Amino acid sequence: MTDHGYILGSHGNWGGMFDCQQLVHIPLIIWSPTSADRKRRTAALTSTLDLMPTFMDWHEAEPPLHVHGKSLCHVLDGDEDHRDAVLYSYFGKDINLADGRYTYCRQPLPDSFLYHHTALPCAFRDFIDRDTLAKSESGVFLKSAHDIPHLRIRTPSYRHGNAPEFNPIYGIVADPQQKIPSAPRVSRPSSQAE
């Protein structure tokens, strides 16, 4: 498996775009010594979050309570029902929800922000600069930190390149290249007469 794909010029971009299928629909190949059918494909929706619970299940260990992933062992045994949808994103960018047929891309609100929690003064590509570190807060902000102090750094959210002015929905079965975004329809409840 991998953590993401590459678009390499698809959609007229090399990066900074929405999380299209070429980036997020990644291969996952599992060989299980206990699986009856070893040459099978599945359409079950999975996530990289499911890997650790799967390894723990193989070794008859219980994952910690805060883990969001689910073991894939039942999928390896032929069960296609694993998740109704998956949620995915890059840090600070839009959040996407996909059910295997449609993908909904929720854009961040203007001037919104999130927090980068870390115990190391490193970002994705380099060390965090001194000015940013000076503005960070130090403490225990996450329950999952188990009382270990860490930094909380306020970080602006951002829209992907070429983002439309609405939160798009893509029909990935009919439009696998995701060229035609559609705006969600919002139905308002009608007022009921007394």
Task: Give CA–CA dist 146/14, Å, rounded.
Answer: 39
What is the dihedral sign for C-alpha 155, 161, 164, 170? Answer: negative
pLDDT of residue 113: 94
User: Which residue in the block uniquely carries the two structure tokens 């600069």?
Assistant: 129
**Tens-of-pLDDT digits for all 194 residues of the chain?**
777 777 776 666 666 667 888 788 888 888 877 666 667 788 899 999 999 999 999 999 999 888 999 999 899 888 889 999 999 888 888 899 999 999 999 999 999 999 999 998 887 778 889 999 999 999 999 988 999 999 999 999 988 877 888 899 999 999 988 888 888 776 555 555 44
In 3D space, the residue among 108, 115, 114 whose CA is nearest the CA of residue 163 turns out to be 108
- Six token digits for residue 60: 């008859």
DSSP state of 3: S
Q: What is the pLDDT of residue 21?
A: 81
List, as one string, the DSSP characters of 92-149. TS-EEEE-SSEEEEEPPPTT-EEEEEESSSB-SSSBPPHHHHHH-EEE---GGGTT--
pLDDT value at position 43? 86
Nearest to 104 by CA among 85, 123, 117, 118: 85
Rounded Cα–Cα distance for residues 14 and 24 (Å): 15
CA distance 134 to 141: 17
Q: Taking a C-beta distance cutoff of 8 angstroms, is the pair 162, 13 a contact?
A: yes
Integer Cα distance of 120 and 81 in angstroms: 39
Alpha carbon distances (Å) from 68 to 47, 63, 96, 174: 10, 9, 17, 30
